[in-house]
Amino acid sequence: MTYALDTNTIIHLLKHTPSVLKQRNSVLKDGAGLIIPPYVNFELRRGFRYVKATAKERSYQILCTRYPVGEMRSDTWELAATIYADLRQASYTVGDADILIAAFCIIDGYTLVTNNTKDFKNISDLLMVDWVV
């Protein structure tokens, strides 16, 4: 099993939130993999650079040496477009970032680790866990 880390989860890792560190260590011990969705990588890097948080960005760069940043493939973009259309037709509004992160996870069968489950709850076939609780 591979877990995809949402932006808020990585922030908790960088802040050394005990529950998140414990869960991460547990899944790694069980042989699971961790990956960073490409849009999450973008969100973090743009935020660090905007607020000039160079120390935090360096810590994040170290994290990226341990856990790979994934790539968006054409099938991910296709699924994201379908998710968007399905959600809109069902009268749900979800931000593009969350749709792209979800599509990335669904395509490769990753479980999204997020404590922002409310934004993802209406996306079919997305596996999620919350390590903050």
Give the CATH number for residue 26.
Answer: 3.40.50.1010
Please state the domain count of the chain.
Answer: 1
Q: Where are the alpha helices (DSSP H) in 51-130?
A: 54-66, 74-89, 96-108, 117-120
CA distance linking residue 98 with residue 117, whole number of Å: 10
Q: Is residue 86 part of a domain?
A: yes
Q: Is residue 50 part of a domain?
A: yes
Q: Is residue 22 part of a domain?
A: yes
pLDDT of residue 78: 98
| pLDDT tens-digit map of 27-64 | 999 999 999 999 999 999 999 999 999 999 999 999 99
Q: Is residue 32 part of a domain?
A: yes
Q: 84 lies in which domain range? A: 2-123
Listed in sequence order, the residues at least 6 apart from 121 whose beta carbon sits closer than 8 Å to its beta carbon are none
The arithmetic mean of pLDDT across residues 63-88, rounded, is 97
Q: Is residue 129 part of a domain?
A: no
Q: Is residue 132 part of a domain?
A: no
Q: Is residue 69 part of a domain?
A: yes
pTM of the prediction?
0.94
CA distance linking residue 106 with residue 129, whole number of Å: 14
- Cα 60 versus chain centre, distance: 14
Q: Is residue 93 part of a domain?
A: yes
